[in-house]
Amino acid sequence: MMDFLVGWAAIVPSYMTPLLLACLGLIISERAGVLNLGAEGLMALGAMAAAIAVLSGHGPLIGFAAGAAAAIALSLLFGLAVVVFRADQTLAGLAVVAIGLGVTGVVGRPFTQKTFPGLPKFGDKFSFDQHTSLGRFIAAQDVVSLLAPLIAVGIWWWLSSTRSGLRLRAAGENPASADVAGVDIQWTRLAAVLACGLLCGLSGAYLTIATSHVWVENMIAARGWIAIGLVILANWSPARAIFGALLFGSADALIPRLQAVGADVPVYLMMMLPYALTLSMLLLAALMGRGSGEPAALGAVYLRQDKH
């Protein structure tokens, strides 16, 4: 039993990390008042671009940069549509999903099912005592899975303790008052959207470079939608997002671990666990009412002439 638990705990961070990175990006965007439903498309584009970069002979670092850049480019299109031209944020977010999945289905098709060396685990670079639980756990990690919680804490501190973080939050809470105080609402919201693209692109890149070492179509498997639900469960708090991602990552990691030990479980039913958990938690959040962390102006279009 202990061996099962240690093995399970060792792979949880790799399942937790992409959810956490995408969730953090969405929190930044929504704290600025921009509802972003395009995480699935952004992650898919980031995953494909990262895989193509590595398959072209570049290292994992360039792969992460390519994934981030591709998602930022699509986020720029989304940001211009909703921030500058004031398009409907819900429809624009769904369009981002369609564009991201469509582009990856066409551009990425020649690169599917081609394996490549990815981000090394600590166990590949250093020697750890595999007979101890701690040694097994550390050996199974990579640098990004350890940095992701630190990034979450850093974003939490930035939003709560810095002037620029306060200005971003003001753009999502009361854009009219923030505008009067000198905050450029358009630039603030556009920057938040691009930051969301950066983190969602890194999330998708992590799935190909660090987890699977291969690109296949539809490999995001609704993780972008889970990240959106995770934002609500975390009450728009980057610190709480760590615990939410840990919960969902643990549920997702349970399936391959049970398969690895040969447990006789209904595999397809178990694959529903993360999504069923998402729906259950969203239902619970709805029953508890509007969260105090939800930005007051989330999804609302701000017109400068509306201020009094």
Instruction: Tell me the two tokens of residue 258.
Output: 């049970």
In the block, which residue shows the tokens 């303790």?
161
pLDDT value for 43: 97
Domain CATH for 132: 1.10.3470
Q: What pLDDT digit, counting tens, does each position of 211-254 carry?
A: 999 999 889 988 999 999 899 889 899 999 999 899 888 888 88
Residue 11 pLDDT exceeds 50 = yes
Q: What pLDDT digit, counting tens, does each position of 135-148 carry?
A: 888 888 899 999 99
In a domain, 25, yes or no: yes
- The model carries a pTM of 0.92
In a domain, 116, yes or no: yes
In a domain, 79, yes or no: yes
Q: Can you give the three-state secondary structure of the chain, one letter per residue?
A: CHHHHHHHHHHHHHHHHHHHHHHHHHHHHHHCCCCCCCHHHHHHHHHHHHHHHHHCCCCHHHHHHHHHHHHHHHHHHHHHHHHHCCCCHHHHHHHHHHHHHHHHHHHCHHHCCCCCCCCCCHHHHCCCCCCCHHHHHHHCCCHHHHHHHHHHHHHHHHHHHCHHHHHHHHHHHCHHHHHHCCCCHHHHHHHHHHHHHHHHHHHHHHHHHHHHCCCCCCCCCCHHHHHHHHHHHCCCCHHHHHHHHHHHHHHHHHHHHHHHCCCCCCHHHHHCHHHHHHHHHHHHHHHHCCCCCCCCCCCCCCCHHHCC
pLDDT value for 261: 66
In a domain, 159, yes or no: yes
93 CB contacts (<8 Å, ≥6 apart)? 35, 36, 37, 38, 78
In a domain, 179, yes or no: yes
pLDDT value for 308: 45
Distance CA 18, CA 223 (A): 8
Domain region containing 185: 12-306
In a domain, 211, yes or no: yes
In a domain, 3, yes or no: no
The number of folded domains in the chain is 1
In a domain, 6, yes or no: no
Q: What pLDDT digit, counting tens, does each position of 72-89 carry?
A: 999 999 999 999 999 999
Residue 256 pLDDT exceeds 70 = yes
Distance CA 13, CA 240 (A): 16
Mean pLDDT computed over 260-271: 66
Residue 158 pLDDT exceeds 80 = yes
The letter for the amino acid at 38 is G
Distance CA 45, CA 291 (A): 31
